[in-house]
């Protein structure tokens, strides 16, 4: 499983596996020992007791942003992610980050900045093969909200029929929100150390907030003039665990 997941870390998502578990067959003809109420319930219902619950809190940094920042100086961003493991391989997830953009064309100049928060859940579709198995392949959903500001924009439009059109677009503060569908994997490379990626499809929910000029880059979302956007993250994370004894 570990070898397959390491390959998957580079190539794509695993297909979902169906989980099927059956409880042990118990001889109900034998009376449980005196005071063994839990054993009696297990014998009557045919259900195995739940395994110990291991708490896990994990926090990670998106190292792909470093590469993107170096490749495109007009867009700079940083993102972190934290998740908490619930029962049934469900993770509560929170993400935050900030960034800025700059447009410096011959006919248009402005800059913008902002920050964002996202909340949601991930659900792993991989079978757990041991108590020490915390590798996941998952699908999830997010709600995101971002706040930012765009500076006053100066524009210049040449015309072959007369003088050029030029002017300024007033600055704007804005709040945007969006939904996301995401999927990916996280593989434990060493004790508590994870690497993994997310692929995301985003849907802007209030595009009408930009009446005149949408920012070229909204941190956490992407292009402000697009109602949908696609993104990719690669995280290095560290997890702490407790309980389960």
pLDDT of 38 reads: 46
Look at domain 2-12+54-243 and name its CATH class.
Answer: mainly beta
Classify each residue of 174-211 as buried b or exposed e, where b means 16 or more C-beta atoms within 10 Å of its C-beta: bebbbebebbbbbbbeeeeebbbbbebebebeeeeebe
pLDDT of 161 reads: 85
Question: Of the segments 43-52, 124-133, 145-154, which one has the largest average pLDDT value?
Answer: 145-154
| Domain residue spans of the chain | 2-12+54-243
pLDDT of 127 reads: 86
Pairwise pLDDT comparison (17 vs 42), residue with the higher score: 42
Q: What is the pTM of this model?
A: 0.78
Single out the residue of 66, 63, 120 nearest to residue 95, CA to CA: 120
């Amino acid at each position: 499983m570990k070898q397959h997941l390491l390959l998957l870390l580079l190539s794509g998502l695993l297909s979902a596996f169906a989980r099927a578990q059956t409880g042990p067959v118990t001889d109900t003809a034998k009376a449980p020992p005196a005071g063994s109420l839990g054993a009696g319930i297990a014998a009557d219902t045919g259900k195995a007791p739940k395994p110990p619950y291991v708490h896990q809190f994990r926090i990670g940094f998106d190292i792909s942003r470093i590469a993107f920042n170096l490749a495109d100086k007009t867009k700079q961003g940083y993102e972190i992610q934290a998740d908490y493991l619930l029962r049934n391989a469900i993770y509560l997830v929170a993400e935050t980050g900030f960034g800025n953009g700059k447009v410096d064309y011959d006919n248009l100049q402005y800059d913008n900045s902002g920050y964002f928060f996202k909340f949601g859940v991930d659900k792993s579709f991989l079978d757990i093969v041991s108590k020490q198995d915390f590798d996941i392949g998952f699908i999830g959903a997010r709600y995101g909200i971002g706040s930012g500001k765009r500076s006053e924009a100066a524009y210049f439009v040449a015309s072959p029929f007369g003088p050029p059109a030029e002017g300024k677009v007033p600055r704007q503060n804005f709040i945007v929100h969006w939904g996301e569908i995401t999927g990916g994997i996280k593989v434990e490379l060493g004790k508590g150390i994870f690497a993994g990626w997310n692929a995301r499809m985003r849907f802007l929910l209030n595009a009408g907030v930009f009446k005149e000029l949408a920012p070229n880059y909204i941190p956490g979302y992407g292009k402000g003039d697009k109602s949908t956007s696609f993104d990719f993250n690669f995280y290095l994370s560290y997890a702490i665990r407790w309980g389960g004894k």
